[in-house]
């Protein structure tokens, strides 16, 4: 009975909203305004049919009430099922990311400032009603989906990820759940529909980037901090979550098979891992084979954003941004997304283009570490790829036409480090094919692979008309590929080396101590570079020297540790059965003197700060600028800022250290920061970047030392964390109790 009464109330509500709908829908410019006669006829028809609809709908709800209360199942799968789902993506290795929307219209410029991109509504503090005016200007008449897809295909890319909706809330597709979409612009064409058709025609995988954060939707929370005039009264975040799901259903049912759902904008407090897991399950309930990145839940603990498929972390693969992890992410799927210049969205004044050579080497570097490369283009308001982007895509495509097999379907290098370039590999009958990406052509023509025990089968170059055959010989632990005198490709020539069996590689040992400097003595370990000291191969011994000579079978055998009392250069090598089986490792440990502490009177707790406002791409010379405000704080913090972008701080004072030691300092920031001790630069984390950490060391006497930290923020996230560590102090934030400044005279 409750359901009947509820539906009766629903009837009157629907009838009311129908009248509202038909009198307001006309402003969309896709359908004419509905007049009073139309409204009356529609209302009568709806009233006549209502009793029958009521009965059918009641039976439907009663029959499905149990099912409706059951939460969506968690998509559990075996490792083999997971690998099978990821197969096409991991073999593709190379994709195109497209950032396009209303933000292309101002092209990075607003009120005299020219450094904006796709975040312009937020960073330039553009009110929502002002930003909506771009709808009337969005008319990319030169857009051609086939041209875009062919450009990606000719570049050697296998999938396209396009912004179905970015943080500004504007949708590039025809959505029935919002007026803030492409159909409300003069263009009135479903861009994603045309792109989906072009992708199918050209054998390209289509993927969608969809922002969870939405600066336009009235139910999204939190509001921007600067939107003081835009109230959040009446906002319902649960209603917004349903809106997200409604649009995702459109994207996953109206455009065919979608390869990847690439989420972003997941870091604000209103979102959670539980919401992310629910959204992950919802998306896969619509397309079970789809792949979903790790930005569907809250950001992982890793500052590079690479955590996933771990306890509490949702998603199928990691997404380091604008960086290539030094060692990749062994055993995991990951993808580096990167711009060609400094912005994701179109900025007509941004001329900081990466060179073709840099992009080709980045592609090889990423593949050699087992990752994918997602390279970004920001189209113009007219719907064209910028010419500089086209030129680079063409150049990368020419290289891929020759060397694509060294990228597609390959796995990570069996070598940890190669001085002359990178290596990718794939299995072949009876062995393994190594693709040697040679960035630095050897002057003597001898390309050496240290530490490999396999026998060679054949070697040749991919470049050149005849695939030049290369001879291969052995020299102690390594194979030597004899190359021609000149490199066919000065950026990256690929030499193929086929070997018998799976790669059997012994890396040079790791020479390790707390730091490369020490005060009195230093304990140094020599150990296996790939496994812990406990698990090292018992048949492999580490021979080392302390006089700069190369280690031989007669050199000292590492047992427990090496204790140094003076500056020493250590060289070490792995030996097995009386023979060298690895290349050499070398490290120098330097004995230093302590920096004396200072004697300072009239100190009071806390640290002084100066706050500045301005637009910078790197840390300015604050000494030449006038601060907006200056005062003291108990610790280093950004709480006294007036805005979220375009500002900077300097923090000055003293830090009291408890004992003589080598101290390591850390600065983690978004954007740039630097840390000075006694006016010496210790940590340099300058530049425009996402949250990242840098560190540095200094030998310091117990007592007071001058401390200075500088910071600037341009756009995007904002944060600054400063910490330290020593032998007896685990890594931690600088304690307020250790910070001081000179009191007023």
Q: Which residue has the higher pLDDT, 643 or 166?
A: 166
Which neighbouring-strand residues pair with 725? 664
- At 472, list the tokens: 């291969």
Tell me, what's the pLDDT at 745? 56
How far CA 375 is from CA of 144, 371, 396, in Å, comes to 20, 13, 11
User: Which regions of 224-277 does DSSP assign to beta strands (E)?
Assistant: 260-264
Average pLDDT over every residue of 135-143: 98
Q: CA end-to-end span of the chain, whole Å?
A: 81
Q: Which residue intervals of 273-352 are DSSP H helices?
A: 273-286
Q: Place 74 in a pLDDT band, splitting at 50, 70 and 90.
A: low
The Cα 195–Cα 162 span in angstroms is: 9
Q: Binning pLDDT at 50, 70 and 90, where does residue 278 land?
A: very high
Tokens of 490: 């000065």
pLDDT in tens, 615-633: 899 999 999 999 999 999 9
Q: Please name every residue paired with 611 in a beta bridge, in sequence order, or none if there are none.
A: 629, 649
Count Cβ neighbours within 10 Å for each residue of 53-75 and write b for 16 or more, e otherwise.
ebeeeeeeeeeeeeeeeeeeeeb
φ, ψ at 283 (rounded to 5°): -60, -45
Domains 79-388 and 603-742 share a fold: no
Q: Which residues pair with 207 in a beta bridge?
A: 161
- Spatial neighbors of 39 by CB under 8 A, at least 6 apart, are 18, 19, 22, 23
Mean pLDDT, the chain, rounded, equals: 89
Rounded Cα gap, residues 672 and 670, in angstroms: 6
Token pair belonging to 350:
């941004």
Q: What is the model's pLDDT at position 668?
A: 96
- Distance between CA atoms of 681 and 675, rounded to whole angstroms? 6
The answer on pLDDT for 69 being more than 70 is no
Report the 10 Å Cβ neighbour count for 526. 25
- Percent of the chain exceeding pLDDT 70 equals 87
List 630's β-bridge partners, or say none. Answer: 610
Do the beta carbons of residue 379 and residue 98 sit within 8 Å? yes
pLDDT at 689 (0 to 100): 85
Question: How far is Cα 329 from Cα 371, in angstroms, rounded to an integer?
Answer: 8
Cα 389–chain centre separation: 20
pLDDT of the residue at 536: 53
- Select from 3.40.50.300, 2.40.160.10, 3.30.540.10, 2.60.40.1180 the CATH code of 421-500: 2.60.40.1180
CA distance 495 to 446: 12
Determine the length of the chain. 745
Q: Taking the alpha carbons of 299, 300, 301, 305 in that order, is the dihedral positive or negative? A: negative
- Given this model, what pLDDT does residue 743 score? 86
Cβ pair 262, 161 in contact under 8 A? yes
Coil, helix or strand at residue 365: helix
Q: How far is it, in rounded angstroms, from Cα 654 to Cα 604? A: 10
Pairing between β-strand 159-165 and β-strand 94-98 as defined by DSSP bridges: parallel
Lowest-pLDDT range of 94-103, 165-174, 290-299: 290-299
Distance CA 350, CA 107 (A): 10
- The pLDDT confidence band at residue 27, using thresholds 50, 70 and 90, is very low
pLDDT at 310: 54
pLDDT value for 307: 53
Instruction: Give CA angle at 507 (419, 494), nearest 5°.
Output: 40
Give me the percent of the chain exceeding a pLDDT of 90: 81
Token pair belonging to 738: 């250790």
Report the topology of domain 510-591.
Immunoglobulin-like (2.60.40)
pLDDT computed for residue 691 by the predictor: 86
Q: Which residues contact 742 (CB under 8 A, 6 or more apart)?
A: 600, 602, 603, 604
| Residues 539/540/543/544 CA torsion (nearest 10 deg) | -150
Residue 404 above 50 pLDDT? yes
Core vs surface per residue 619-631: b (16+ CB within 10 A) or e = beebeeeeeeeee
Residue 51 has pLDDT above 80, yes or no: no
Q: What is the pLDDT, as a whole number, of residue 68? A: 28
Predicted confidence (pLDDT) per residue in 423-452, tens digit:
999 999 999 999 999 999 999 999 999 999
Q: Does domain 603-742 have CATH number 3.40.50.2000?
A: no
Cα 201 to the chain's mean position, in Å?
30
Q: What is the DSSP string of 529-570?
A: SSS-GGGS-TT-EEEEESSSPPP-TTSEEP-S-EEESS-EEE
The tokens for 250 are: 């459109």
- Helix (H/G/I), strand (E/B), else coil: 65: helix
* pLDDT beyond 70 at 457: yes
Distance, CA of 64 to CA of 36 (rounded, Å)? 38
Mean pLDDT of all residues in 540-561: 95
pLDDT reported for residue 537: 58
Which residues does 48 contact at the CB level (< 8 Å), separation at least 6? none
What is the token pair recorded at 485? Answer: 């005198």
Q: pLDDT grade, residue 61 (50/70/90)? A: very low
Residue with more model confidence, 669 or 20: 669
Residue 671, preceding peptide bond in cis (omega within 30° of 0): yes
Q: pLDDT at position 455, please?
A: 97
pLDDT score of 391 more than 70: yes
The alpha carbon of 520 is separated from its chain's Cα centroid by a whole number of angstroms, namely: 42
| Residues 114, 115, 119, 121, CA torsion sign | negative
Q: Per-residue confidence at 16, pLDDT binned at 50, 70, 90? A: very low
Kindly state the helix (H) or strand (E) to which residue 732 belongs, with its residue range. Answer: strand 729-733
Judging by beta carbons within 10 Å of its beta carbon (0-12, 13-18, 19+), is residue 145 exposed, middle or buried? buried
Whether the per-residue pLDDT at 490 is higher than 70: the answer is yes
Model pLDDT for residues 306-316, shown as the tens digit of each residue: 555 555 678 99
Distance between CA atoms of residues 663 and 728, nearest Å: 10
Query: pLDDT (tens digit, 9 = 90+) per residue, 557-615?
Result: 999 999 999 999 999 999 998 999 999 999 999 999 999 999 999 999 999 999 999 98
Q: Which range has the worst mean pLDDT, 57-66, 302-311, 695-704?
A: 57-66
Q: What is the mean pLDDT of residues 346-351?
A: 96
Query: Token match 């994603």: residue?
Result: 192
Mean pLDDT of 443-465: 94
Taking the CA atoms of residue 737, residue 738, residue 741 and residue 745 in that order, the dihedral angle to the nearest 10 degrees is 70
The structural architecture, per CATH, of the domain 79-388 is Alpha-Beta Barrel (3.20)
Task: Match 């029959």 to its residue by tokens.
Answer: 63
The pTM of this model reads: 0.82
Rounded CA gap, 340 and 321, in Å? Answer: 13
> Domain boundaries in the chain?
2-68, 79-388, 421-500, 510-591, 603-742
Greater pLDDT, 34 or 85: 85
Q: By mean pLDDT, which of 402-411, 639-648, 663-672 is the weakest?
A: 639-648
Q: Over 60: is that where the pLDDT of 348 sits?
A: yes
Average pLDDT over residues 377-391: 98
Tell me phi and psi for residue 51, to 5 degrees. -55, -40
Q: Is 315 left (phi over 0), alpha (psi -120 to 50) or beta?
A: left
Q: Are strands 94-98 and 478-482 parallel, antiparallel or unpaired?
A: unpaired
**Exposed e or buried b for every residue in 200-229, given b needs 16+ CB within 10 A?**
eeeebbbbbbbbbbbbbbbbbeeeeebeee
């Amino acid at each position: 009975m409750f359901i009947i009464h509820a539906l009766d109330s629903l009837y009157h509500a629907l009838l009311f909203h129908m009248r509202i709908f038909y009198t307001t829908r006309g402003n969309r410019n896709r359908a004419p305004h509905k007049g009073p006669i139309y409204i009356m006829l529609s209302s009568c028809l709806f009233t006549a049919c209502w009793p029958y609809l009521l009965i059918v709908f009641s039976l439907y709800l009663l029959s499905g009430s149990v099912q409706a209360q059951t939460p969506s199942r968690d998509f559990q799968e075996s490792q083999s099922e997971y690998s099978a789902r990821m197969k096409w993506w991991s073999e593709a290795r190379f994709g195109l990311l497209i950032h396009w929307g209303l933000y292309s219209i101002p092209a990075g410029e607003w009120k005299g400032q020219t450094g904006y991109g796709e975040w312009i509504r937020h960073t330039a503090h553009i009110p929502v009603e002002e930003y909506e005016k771009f709808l009337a200007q969005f008319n990319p008449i030169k857009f051609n989906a086939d041209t875009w897809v062919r450009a990606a295909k000719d570049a050697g890319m296998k999938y396209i990820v396009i912004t179905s909706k970015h943080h500004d809330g504007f949708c590039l597709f025809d959505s029935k759940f919002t007026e803030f979409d492409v159909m409300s612009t003069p263009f009135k064409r479903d861009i994603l529909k045309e792109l989906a058709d072009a992708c199918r025609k050209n054998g390209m995988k289509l993927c969608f980037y969809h922002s969870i954060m939405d600066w336009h939707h009235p139910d999204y929370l939190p509001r921007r901090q600067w939107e003081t005039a835009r109230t959040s009264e009446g906002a319902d975040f649960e209603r917004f979550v349903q809106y997200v799901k409604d649009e995702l259903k459109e994207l996953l049912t109206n455009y065919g098979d979608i390869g990847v759902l690439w989420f972003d904008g997941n870091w604000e407090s209103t979102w959670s891992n539980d919401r992310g897991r629910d959204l992950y399950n919802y998306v896969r309930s619509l397309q079970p084979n789809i792949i979903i990145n790790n930005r569907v839940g809250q950001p992982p603990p890793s500052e590079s954003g690479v955590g996933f498929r771990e306890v509490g972390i949702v998603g199928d693969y990691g997404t380091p941004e604008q960086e290539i992890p030094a060692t990749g992410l062994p055993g995991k799927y990951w993808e580096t997304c990167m711009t060609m210049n400094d912005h994701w969205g179109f900025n007509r004044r941004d001329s900081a283009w990466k060179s073709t050579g840099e992009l080709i080497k980045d592609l090889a570097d990423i593949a050699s570490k087992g990752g994918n490369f997602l390279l970004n283009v920001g189209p113009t308001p007219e719907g064209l790829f910028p010419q500089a982007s086209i030129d680079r895509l063409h150049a990368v495509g020419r290289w891929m036409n020759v060397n694509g097999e060294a990228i597609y379907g390959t796995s990570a290098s069996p070598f940890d480090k190669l001085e002359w370039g990178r290596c990718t590999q794939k299995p072949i009958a009876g062995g393994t094919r190594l693709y040697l990406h040679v960035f630095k052509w050897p002057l003597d023509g001898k390309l050496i692979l240290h530490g490999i025990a396999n026998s060679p089968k054949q070697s040749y170059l991919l470049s050149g008309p005849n695939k030049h055959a290369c001879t291969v010989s052995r020299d102690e632990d390594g194979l030597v590929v004899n190359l021609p005198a000149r490199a066919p490709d000065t950026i990256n020539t690929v030499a193929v080396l086929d070997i018998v069996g799976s790669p059997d590689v012994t890396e040079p040992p790791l020479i390790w101590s707390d730091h490369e400097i020490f005060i009195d003595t230093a304990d140094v370990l020599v150990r296996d570079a790939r496994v812990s000291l406990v698990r090292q191969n018992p048949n492999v011994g580490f021979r080392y020297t302390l006089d700069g000579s190369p280690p031989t079978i007669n050199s000292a055998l590492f047992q427990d540790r090496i204790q140094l009392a003076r500056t020493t250069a250590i060289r070490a090598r792995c030996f097995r059965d009386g023979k060298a089986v690895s290349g050499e490792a070398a490290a120098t440990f330097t004995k230093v003197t302590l920096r004396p502490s200072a004697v300072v009177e009239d100190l009071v707790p806390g640290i002084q700060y100066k706050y500045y406002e301005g637009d910078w791409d790197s840390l300015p010379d604050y000494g030449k600028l006038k601060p907006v405000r200056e005062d003291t704080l108990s610790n280093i913090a950004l709480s006294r800022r007036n805005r979220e972008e375009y500002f900077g701080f300097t923090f000055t004072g003293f830090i009291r250290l408890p004992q003589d030691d080598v101290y390591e300092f850390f600065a983690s920031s978004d954007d740039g920061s630097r840390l000075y001790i006694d006016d010496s630069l210790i940590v340099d984390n300058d530049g425009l970047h996402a949250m990242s950490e840098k560190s540095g060391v200094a030998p310091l006497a117990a007592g007071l030392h001058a401390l200075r930290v500088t910071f600037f923020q341009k756009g995007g996230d904002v944060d600054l964390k400063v910490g330290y560590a020593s032998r007896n102090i685990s890594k931690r934030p600088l304690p307020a109790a250790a910070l001081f400044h000179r009191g007023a005279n």
